[in-house]
Amino acid sequence: MTAAAEKAVTRFHPVSAPDYLPVPQLRDLQLARLQATVQRAFTNVELLRKRMQEHGVRPEDIRGLDDIVRLPFTVKADLRDTYPYGLFACPLSEIVRLHASSGTTGKPIVVAYTRDDLDVWTSVMARALASYGITRSDIFQNAHGYGLFTGGLGFHYGVEALGATVIPVSGGNTDRQVMIMKDFKVTAICATPSYFIHMLERASEMGIDVRELPLRAGGFGAEPWSESMRQRIQAAAGIRAYDCYGLSEITGPGVAAECWFQGGPHVFEDHFYPEVIDPESGQNVPDGVEGELVVTTLSKQAMPMIRYRTRDITALVTEACPCGRTLRRIRRIGRRSDDMLIIRGVNVFPSQVESALLAVEGTLPHYQIVLTRDKGLDQMEVQVEVTSEVFGDRVRALVDLHEKLMGAMEQTLGLRVNVRLVEPHSIQRSEGKAKRVIDRRAE
């Protein structure tokens, strides 16, 4: 990128003004909003009031931001137990939108927005896009699913508010995505990283080199993706790939977003208050130490969340970012506390597998982890696609690659697992959140 282009994307955008609030002013704003949120939750949400009473804390006890630790946590089960409307803090007549997130089992969780909540969501999404360097001149392809999932509509309103042109393609129909990307001269895109990888693969099969298209930036999220995956995406598409973090319970995408420097997403702290805790003890950990992200909404009207345990593992980054934003960052989320696999006593996260695999040349970014049980012992097999060049090459090349991957896995995981090299296209492609783990242990 030329110096002029770099200047253009790092240039200040007016929607980003709250990103640069002086810290004392930001803290005052957070405290005022926290107090109002706690009061609202206490007055209007029975479950949250009861919890606070059980914990012996009342809204007037929150005198400073540090008092937040006196408040009880909220967890996903609370949303399930009060399904569908039990955590709403206002009458249904004030609610203008519902979204839902499908759990792995049973009923989805339901989240609600007032008009003001939608305005806040739109503004944080516009700020996220501005921090990726998107401007009103961009043509933005929205390849997140539209519907109950928050990805599609969340990005949609943010792009419009920024004044860029949104193309609401939604997820799926990959050939059409590629055609639109090329014909509509798309300059920026959003999708899950795994779906975007699939789009790149289809483009290449259709004889289109995405690096030669005007596409220059992408906001990716909704699933963990490693730094190796970012490097693969940036090289294959000739773009800058930025992280976008969020979850339905808090608002959807737009809780945190990376800036030009790609040093982990900045949390939009004027609306979402981040803490990191030790998931075992529930105690806050020092800045920079890894733990579970806990978020409190500071302006949500319909469904305020007090100290919501996200299960996402990260650390608070308090070092100043060269971009000048005063918003704290979180380390990119590589894993959730609940996607940990325990294989023969060793803790394994799918994201570790991804980093190790993709660091080795000759692999494709399509992989899957298959768990089985043999005579009571858990077995883990990592299936990874390899390029057709390697596959078509001499047996020796395959054997070498296999050995390299076995070594890389053992080194990263501290465990010997089976690695199986498979032909291109043998692993199912995702159009949304990728399913990385197939668990056949109970079969």
**Least separation in angstroms between CB 237 and ligand DLL:** 18
Rounded to whole angstroms, the Cα distance separating 255 from 128 reads 9
* Residue 176: CB minimum distance to ligand DLL, A: 20
Residue 218 beta carbon to ligand DLL: minimum distance, rounded to whole angstroms: 11
Minimum Å distance from CB 223 to ligand DLL?
A: 5
Give the nearest distance from C-beta 356 to ligand DLL in angstroms. 18
Binding-site ranges for ligand DLL (CB under 6 A): 101, 144, 150-151, 221-224, 243-248, 252-253, 310, 312, 333, 336
Whole-number Cα distances in Å, 415 to 333, 344, 400: 23, 9, 20
Of 9 and 330, which has the nearer Cβ to ligand DLL? 330
Is there a contact between 204 and 442 (Cβ–Cβ < 8 Å)?
no
Contacts of 191 (CB under 8 A, 6+ apart): 143, 144, 171, 199, 218, 220
Measured from the CB atom, the residue of 311 and 366 that comes closer to ligand DLL is: 311
Return the residue nearest ligand DLL (CB atom): 221
Minimum Å gap between C-beta 62 and ligand DLL is 26
Give the chain's end-to-end CA distance (angstroms, integer).
52
- Alpha carbon of residue 255 to chain centroid: 9
Cβ nearer to ligand DLL, comparing 21 with 162: 162
Smallest distance, ligand DLL to C-beta of residue 399, A: 35
Residue placing its CB nearer to ligand DLL in the complex, 33 or 332: 332
- For the bound state, the minimum distance from the C-beta of residue 75 to ligand DLL, rounded and expressed in Å, comes to 12
Is the Cβ of residue 133 or residue 246 nearer to ligand DLL in the bound state? Answer: 246
**144 or 436, CB closer to ligand DLL?**
144
Answer whether 275's CB lies under 8 Å from 287's CB. Answer: no
CB 352 → ligand DLL: shortest distance, Å?
A: 14
Spatial strand order of the sheet with 363-374 comes to 418-422, 377-386, 363-374, 437-439
Distance CA 406, CA 356 (A): 10
Toward ligand DLL, which CB reaches closer, 31 or 164? 164
Q: Of 118 and 415, which has the nearer Cβ to ligand DLL?
A: 118
Quote the least distance from Cβ 331 to ligand DLL, whole Å. 10
Q: Would you say 256 or 357 has its CB closer to ligand DLL?
A: 256
**Interior angle at CA 391, CA 385 and CA 394, nearest 5:** 150
CB of 243 to ligand DLL, least distance (A): 5
| For ligand DLL, the closer CB: 101 or 379 | 101
Pairing of strands 377-386, 418-422: parallel
Between the alpha carbon of residue 419 and those of residues 366, 405, 439, the distances in Å are 13, 7, 16
Indicate the residue among 247 and 401 with the shorter CB distance to ligand DLL. 247
Cβ nearer to ligand DLL, comparing 246 with 362 = 246
CB of 273 to ligand DLL, least distance (A): 16
